[in-house]
Amino acid sequence: MDETLLSKAAVYPESEGFDGPNVKGYDFSQGSVDYDALFQSYSTMGFQATNFAAAVSMINNMLEAKSCPFEGYEMPDVRQESGCTIFLGFTSNMISSGVRENIKFIVKENLVDVLVTTCGAIEEDIMKCLAPHQIGRFDYDGKTLRSKGLNRIGNLIVPSKNYELFEAWLMPILNFMHDEQKEKGEIWSPSKMIRLMGERINNEDSVLYWAWKNKIPVFCPAIIDGAVGDVMYFHSYNREGLIMDLTQDIRSINRTAVGAQKTGMIILGGGVIKHHIANANLMRNGTDFSVYINTAQPFDGSDSGATPDEAVSWGKIKHGCKEPVKIHCEATLIFPIIVAQTFAKYHQKLLEKRKTEHD
């Protein structure tokens, strides 16, 4: 038998037909760049570009559902403003970075319904109203930075002085909370405290300010895991006994999911924020729309790296809903573009519709 025939049979097995779009990228030879067409071409680019396009489509589906009126069972003290309740989760480094301004836009324009984040995001949103973070480098020497009172977050620098400003700002609020507890029996939860912080900062650069203004709850189950916790620790030596009730918040976020007509979740990063949103949606047998953006991998069994399909197995994403999306990417690279292709366009359409109705 001809040896080449054996080799060719191995190299060229018989192909079956495959029904899928052809791979094709953007043609820059067409003249001036059409950025909408560029980002739309990502759908046939392949790899994470195709996942990006799927995420844009998924979020636009969320917003389309959100544009419908709420028609479900009304529950008291639960935000039920539209046909889709959107949960936006992000880790603290998103607020450390310039993604803060993207999130602020979304919250200011009332385009999501629930925020879930970590302690660092709470404190740094306030701190940036008091003093700026600055750009540095990833390879700065830690020992040298420590000797100068400079803290590094990746390639960002936060002077220790900024934390002192935050402590001075937060201490009177903790005193007020303690007074309300003693005099009126007020029991605070993390979300109540965060709402008060948003009101007190009274600064339109702040995400928390706009969350307070638009009555968007901000949940932070790890509220003491950062500078907020440091200041509460210092405060406890002057005034003991300030109570923080987490049970109020778990009831609130779970009831928000249960009371929703549909839900969508957009999660930047992993850890507690990812699981807290997913677990709330377990209470309604899963979310209808889901987008993850993170760099974590599934091989270590972590929740951060868990795939959307793993969440389906738990009932946190609905079985049979439109295929959930994960973009394997560092969020500062991609989230601003996602906002441009989704929330910003949706907001512009709302403005045009209101203008037409007004005219």
Query: How far apart are alpha carbons 347 and 170 in whole angstroms?
Result: 34
Segment holding 327, helix H or strand E: strand 325-328
Q: What is the dihedral sign for C-alpha 298, 102, 27, 60?
A: positive
| Residues sharing a CB contact under 8 Å with residue 338, sequence separation 6 or more, in sequence order | 52, 55, 56, 59, 293
Contact 102, 212 (CB under 8 A): no
The C-alpha atoms of residue 123 and residue 117 are separated, in whole angstroms, by 11
Q: Which two tokens stand for residue 168?
A: 């001075």
- Which of 316, 322, 326, 353 is an active site residue? 316
Copy the structure tokens of residue 137.
């480098």
> Cα 112–78–270 angle (5° rounding)?
45
Active site includes 316?
A: yes
Helix (H, G, I), strand (E, B) or coil at 156: strand
β-pair partners for 90: 117, 268
Mapped onto helix, strand or coil, the DSSP state of residue 225 is coil
- For the record, the structure tokens of 172 come out as 């009177």
Instruction: Indicate the helix (H) or strand (E) that contains 264.
Output: strand 263-268
Decide: helix, strand or coil at residue 149: coil
Q: What residues act catalytically? A: 316
